[in-house]
């Protein structure tokens, strides 16, 4: 699929033609990763953040916001619960928190990897801790971490600089960091928000092509959900959307188009049907994502007492559900789709997650 074909699909609104895209994506998913839906247990262990991103509710300096940082014992207890619920992977996610010291993270990873599992295969550990130094990343890989998630958010450098300002003396280059993570031996994941103000059609097309160029193992795509306590959410001057007709909408359907195209471009990647999509469309969002290319969901293992404080966007789906309730609900939804719950770590499929040559027709 080339850039022109991607743009055609992104702008397509005819339901009958879009059904063709959903079918292409579901076929690519079946051929690339099969019918299993893998459950990744999410642990949001810190809401502290030194960044001032224009879209995120955890942004530095936001008040009032009660911050928290879970203890190592709390994190390991959540991982234990994930094992009891049958998960093969836990995802440790934070704001960009330098107060979470690298040796402490390494010790948490070692403790999680040492937990006994019924199969004898240790939990896979995915880290999503923001932009960190290479020596820290290497330390965590040596401790046993398997994967690292770092969303590049947009392939447009000017838009990135507006929504994700660098720290003093530390210019951000997330694409370069993803490449370094690969050399360190991590499976790498990235992603974007669909419809963030300033995202043009061509920008989103380039984002999708960058997934393929980076040969990502994991791809996260969710809708932009405005937070009222952020510059973008307030509509501050300088953050306005593009001219009418140029701005990508932040709708569930547009998000599903991006998920479907990402699946066709990267047939063997792991692609979640995100919580943000379920937040935007509580009745059908998660199921639509799974039917249109996704093969992963991320039930929340974070203790309920912390979840409201991890306030990246408002009204997050499943905010007050216990881990057990969330697991049972997701398993039921997966089975209703005629899919099966995956077992084991559910890692990278085959030798290339993203292929430059799709094995199915892609033109609309």
- Encode pLDDT of 276-298 as tens digits: 999 999 999 999 999 999 999 99
Q: pLDDT band for position 362 (50/70/90)?
A: very low
Q: Could you report the per-residue pLDDT of 55-76, keeping only the tens digit for each?
A: 999 999 898 899 999 999 999 9
Instruction: Measure the CA–CA gap between 134 and 186, rounded to whole angstroms.
Output: 12
Lowest mean pLDDT among 134-138, 185-189, 344-348: 344-348
Q: What is the pLDDT of residue 320?
A: 87
Query: CA nearest 302: which of 271, 272, 326?
Result: 326
Q: In terms of Cα–Cα distance, which of 124, 100, 101 is closest to 112? A: 124
Average pLDDT over residues 127-153: 98
Domains and CATH numbers, the chain: 3-341 (3.20.20.70)
Q: Give pLDDT, residue 353.
A: 59
Predicted pLDDT at 63? 84
Task: Count CA atoms closer than 13 A to 227's CA, side-chain side.
Answer: 19
Structural contact between residues 216 and 175, judged by C-beta atoms closer than 8 angstroms: no
User: Over 80: is that where the pLDDT of 215 sits?
Assistant: yes
- 3-class SS of residue 129: coil
**Cα-Cα-Cα-Cα dihedral sign, residues 147, 84, 29, 35:** positive
- Which segments within 213-286 are labelled E, that is strand? 218-223
Q: What is the pLDDT of residue 67?
A: 96
Q: Calculate mean pLDDT across residues 29-42.
A: 96
Task: Give pLDDT, residue 302.
Answer: 97
d(CA 21, CA 37): 20
Residue 271 has pLDDT above 50, yes or no: yes
Q: Is the pTM of this model over 0.85?
A: yes
223 burial via Cβ count (<10 Å: 0-12, 13-18, 19+): buried
CA distance 59 to 214: 28
| Mean pLDDT score, 197-226 | 97
Q: What pLDDT, on a 0 to 100 scale, did the predictor assign at position 348?
A: 66
Calculate what percentage of the chain has a pLDDT beyond 70: 95
Helix, strand, coil content of the chain in percent (nearest 5): 40, 15, 45
Are 50 and 98 in contact by the 8 Å Cβ rule? The answer is yes
């Amino acid at each position: 699929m080339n850039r022109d074909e991607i743009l055609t699909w992104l702008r397509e609104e005819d339901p009958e033609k879009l059904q063709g895209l959903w079918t292409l994506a579901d076929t690519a998913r079946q051929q690339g990763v099969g019918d299993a839906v893998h459950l990744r247990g999410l642990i949001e262990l810190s809401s502290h953040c030194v960044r001032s991103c224009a879209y995120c509710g955890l942004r530095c300096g936001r008040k009032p916001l009660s911050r928290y940082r879970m203890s190592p014992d709390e994190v390991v207890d959540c991982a234990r619960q994930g094992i009891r619920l049958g998960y093969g992977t836990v995802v440790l996610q934070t704001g960009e928190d330098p107060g979470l010291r690298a040796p402490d993270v390494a010790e948490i990873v070692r403790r999680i990897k040492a937990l006994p599992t019924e199969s004898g295969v240790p939990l896979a550990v995915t880290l999503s801790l923001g932009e960190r130094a290479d020596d820290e990343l290497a330390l965590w890989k040596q401790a046993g971490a398997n994967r690292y998630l770092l969303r590049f958010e947009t392939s447009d450098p000017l838009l990135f600089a507006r929504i994700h300002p660098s720290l003093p003396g530390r210019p951000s280059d997330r694409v370069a960091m993803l490449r370094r993570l690969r050399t360190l031996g991590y499976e790498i994941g990235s992603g974007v928000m669909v419809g963030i103000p300033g995202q043009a059609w061509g920008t989103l097309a380039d984002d999708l092509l960058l997934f393929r160029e980076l040969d990502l193992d994991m791809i996260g795509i969710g809708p932009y959900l405005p937070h009222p306590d952020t510059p973008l959410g307030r509509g501050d001057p300088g953050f306005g959307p593009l001219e009418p007709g140029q701005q990508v909408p932040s709708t569930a359907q547009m998000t599903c188009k991006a998920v479907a195209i990402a699946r066709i471009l990267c047939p063997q990647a792991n692609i979640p049907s995100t919580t943000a999509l379920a937040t935007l469309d509580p009745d059908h969002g998660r199921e639509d994502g799974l039917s249109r290319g996704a093969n992963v969901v991320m039930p929340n293992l974070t203790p309920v007492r912390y979840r409201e404080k991890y306030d990246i966007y408002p009204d997050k789906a499943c905010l007050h559900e216990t881990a057990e309730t969330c697991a049972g609900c997701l398993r039921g939804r997966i089975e209703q789709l005629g899919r099966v719950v995956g077992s084991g770590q559910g890692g990278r499929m085959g030798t290339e997650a993203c292929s430059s040559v799709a094995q199915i027709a892609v033109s609309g």
